[in-house]
Chains A and B, each alone.
Chain A
Amino acid sequence: MSAPQAPSLVRRAAAAAAVLAALLVVPVVAGTYQTQLLTYGLTLAIAALGFNLLLGYSGLLSFGHSAFFGAGAYAVALMMRYLGVTSMELFILGGIAFSAVLAALFGVVCVRHTRIFFAILTLALSQVLWTLAYKFFWITGGTDGLRVPFSKLTLLGGLVGFPGADAFAKFITFYYYYVLAAFCVCVALMWLIVHSPFGKTLQAIRDNETRARFLGVRIWRYRWLAFLVSGIFTGVAGSLWVPLNGLTTPDVLYWPQSGKIVFFAVLGGFRNFTGPIVGAVIFNYLEVYAVAVTEYWQITLGVILIALVTFLPSGVVGSAARLGARLKRRREASA
């Protein structure tokens, strides 16, 4: 079970550039619907990236990340409805502010515990938000939710808008590149974070809390910061997601949504930087096509999740990497 040897930085950069090039041509070669699907996938990938700073790098399983995703989404919807804001940049700032405040507060409570207690605490706190969105319907629209129509949205400081009847295709194309840019920024930031001394310290705490404490690391402070950063990333994902969806309902705050975010990370493999990103994109296709094929898509997802944790605990990316390493060893042995 030895970990596959990490490829060199040059090869990684080359691979990332190839993936980026492929992503850049998607709206040109694929139709509006496929572009829209991938845009959804990319927003979810940002949420997964944030989530995995906790699960993968800090060893903390949050079952309440719907709170931050929903905070980002509701920040946009509330700003549009009550403040008349239309600029996506302001929405993202609002989403960051809202999710940061929330994550800072929740974090103070949650990081005092680990393991199952951490999971239950995050779950309980996220459900407080859900009931508030659900019950205070005169503010939040209750189960009807709040609409965020793309026709009211402006991008790039008001330079690009989407009025008119046939603006949907134009919106999807523009918005795809917008989300892709945000995604690249998020990936780069998270890469820097997990490879910084801060990220290394989180991994040290994850692997041996007692030893880290002995070395003088202030464990709570590091975990709290990780919680904060994780919440903000997931909040940004929620803000980017809501214009695409056109609507936010209390469902994005309900705990099965948190379960989905956990699913992304497990599907791709959470002991791996790219795992949750790939997992989120795959999950999105899986869900869309499962819903299209069968009314009983939850069974499909449930069976896949059980099969994954039973047979492929390192996820799609982790298993692929291990398979690749084994093939390489075999080639070298036979050469």
Chain B
Amino acid sequence: MEIVVIQVLNSLFYAAVLFLIAAGLSLIFGVMGIVNMAHGSFYALGAYVTAWSVAAAAGALPAALPPAALFILLPLGAIAVALIGLAIEPVLLRRFYQRPEEYQLLVTFGLLLVLEDAIRLVWGGTPRTASGLVDSLGLLQIGGMPYPVYNLAMIGVGIVAALGLWAFVYRTRFGVLLRATAQDRRMAAALGIDVGRIYSLAFGLGCFMAGLAGAIVVPSQAAILGMGVEVIVLSFVVVVIGGLGSLEGALVGALIVSALRTITIQFWEEIELAALYLIAAIVLLILPTGLFGKKA
């Protein structure tokens, strides 16, 4: 019984991470119409920036502050990634919005190659960790089995992020502008919305969420090379199941994918990823717009 509880919690933790990445991917697609192949690399960037800043700050931390004060660095890591995204969008992506999808995919694939190597250039090939943060929150006993409180806290972060994103998109003025631009770019521009600014901010917000996913993952797993390349295909699976461009879809897709992943790892580890990719293909075949996507 305890093992079930623990596996459910693990699955929810993983779902929180996947949701953050996939929601960013879906937001960027929904508003700007481009599929960002480099999105996983922004996630990796968030992990590396956070691990690096935690390691740097841990040495310089005044003795009066508890180690948990380092948690302030998690959102800072995400903000750093958002700033990088805000710098990249006007320079690189803006000229591609009116061009065929092939070119949009290719330019973001080029960006992926650049970011992956830039990470290696800056931080080298050795894995980076920030496990001190997990230790600082201690362990919880679940039916006699120790479980890190950190994971529970990060499930909470995932829930807050989902609610915050929902409120942002559906309850603020900026959200209205965002949705208007997503629905009809020309009409939005004709009504005086600064579409270029909306695009930049949507891209920045997407990058922020990918960076946050990386930041909350790195204390419990290490930041390693190739983590962005690995996660991007899985996030495609999530958004395909949920429906490209839909935030609700990203949430449900992330829950489904991480639950399936936990179950297959438990019972038949070899087919874990194969099963996920196959399910994505089947969903695309039967429901091309996913569970929550809008009909074309």
- Closest CB in chain A relative to B11 CB, distance in Å: 19
* CB atoms of B274 and A135 under 8 A apart: yes
- Closest CB in chain A relative to B110 CB, distance in Å: 4
Interface residue from B95, B96, B270, B281 paired with A125 (Cβ < 8 Å): B281
Interface residues of B in 230-249 (CB under 8 A from A): 233, 236-237, 240, 244
Inside 8 A of B277's CB, which chain A residues have their CB? Answer: 124-125, 127-128, 131
Interface residue from A116, A127, A298, A309 paired with B114 (Cβ < 8 Å): A298
Inside 8 A of B99's CB, which chain A residues have their CB? Answer: 313
* CB atoms of A136 and B270 under 8 A apart: yes
* CB atoms of B274 and A128 under 8 A apart: yes
Inside 8 A of B281's CB, which chain A residues have their CB? Answer: 109, 121, 124-125, 128
A113 to B102, CA, bound (A): 15
Is B120 engaged at the interface, CB distance under 8 Å to the other chain?
yes
* CB atoms of A124 and B114 under 8 A apart: no
Interface residues of A in 299-325 (CB under 8 A from B): 299, 301-306, 309-310, 313
- How many chain A residues have a CB neighbour from B under 8 Å? 39
Is A219 engaged at the interface, CB distance under 8 Å to the other chain?
no
Is A211 engaged at the interface, CB distance under 8 Å to the other chain?
no
* CB atoms of A123 and B114 under 8 A apart: no
A198 to B96, CA, bound (A): 32
- Chain A interface SS verdict (over half): helix
Is A227 engaged at the interface, CB distance under 8 Å to the other chain?
no
A63 to B114, CA, bound (A): 19
* CB atoms of A256 and B229 under 8 A apart: yes
Inside 8 A of B107's CB, which chain A residues have their CB? Answer: 305-306, 309-310
Interface residues of A in 120-144 (CB under 8 A from B): 120-121, 123-125, 127-128, 131-132, 135-136
Nearest residue, chain B, Cβ from A259 = B109
Inside 8 A of A255's CB, which chain B residues have their CB? Answer: 229, 233
- Closest CB in chain A relative to B281 CB, distance in Å: 5
Chain A proximity mask over B113-128: 1 for CB below 8 Å, otherwise 0: 1111110110000000
* CB atoms of A299 and B95 under 8 A apart: no
Is A247 engaged at the interface, CB distance under 8 Å to the other chain?
no
- How many chain B residues have a CB neighbour from A under 8 Å? 42
Interface residue from B106, B116, B271 paired with A266 (Cβ < 8 Å): B106
Is B101 engaged at the interface, CB distance under 8 Å to the other chain?
yes
* CB atoms of B105 and A296 under 8 A apart: no
Is A262 engaged at the interface, CB distance under 8 Å to the other chain?
yes
A225 to B96, CA, bound (A): 31
Is B112 engaged at the interface, CB distance under 8 Å to the other chain?
yes
Given known pairs A298-B116, A299-B118, the reply for A124 and B233 (CB within 8 Å) is yes
Interface residue from A61, A128, A299 paired with B113 (Cβ < 8 Å): A299
A125 to B270, CA, bound (A): 16
Given known pairs A132-B274, A135-B274, A313-B103, the reply for A116 and B117 (CB within 8 Å) is no
Given known pairs A115-B101, A313-B103, the reply for A296 and B273 (CB within 8 Å) is no
Is B288 engaged at the interface, CB distance under 8 Å to the other chain?
yes
Interface residue from B113, B115, B118, B285 paired with A301 (Cβ < 8 Å): B113
Is B252 engaged at the interface, CB distance under 8 Å to the other chain?
no
Inside 8 A of A220's CB, which chain B residues have their CB? Answer: none
* CB atoms of A262 and B106 under 8 A apart: yes
Is A180 engaged at the interface, CB distance under 8 Å to the other chain?
no
* CB atoms of A121 and B110 under 8 A apart: no
A sample of 5 inter-chain contacts (CB < 8 A) reads A61-B105, A135-B269, A255-B233, A259-B113, A298-B113
Residues of A bordering B, CB below 8 Å: 55, 61, 63, 109, 112-113, 115-117, 119-121, 123-125, 127-128, 131-132, 135-136, 255-256, 259, 262, 266, 296-299, 301-306, 309-310, 313
* Given A127-B273, A266-B106, A296-B117; 18 other pairs, CB 8 A cutoff: A116-B105, A119-B35, A120-B240, A123-B233, A123-B236, A124-B237, A124-B240, A125-B281, A127-B233, A127-B277, A128-B274, A255-B233, A259-B113, A301-B110, A302-B110, A304-B110, A306-B92, A306-B110
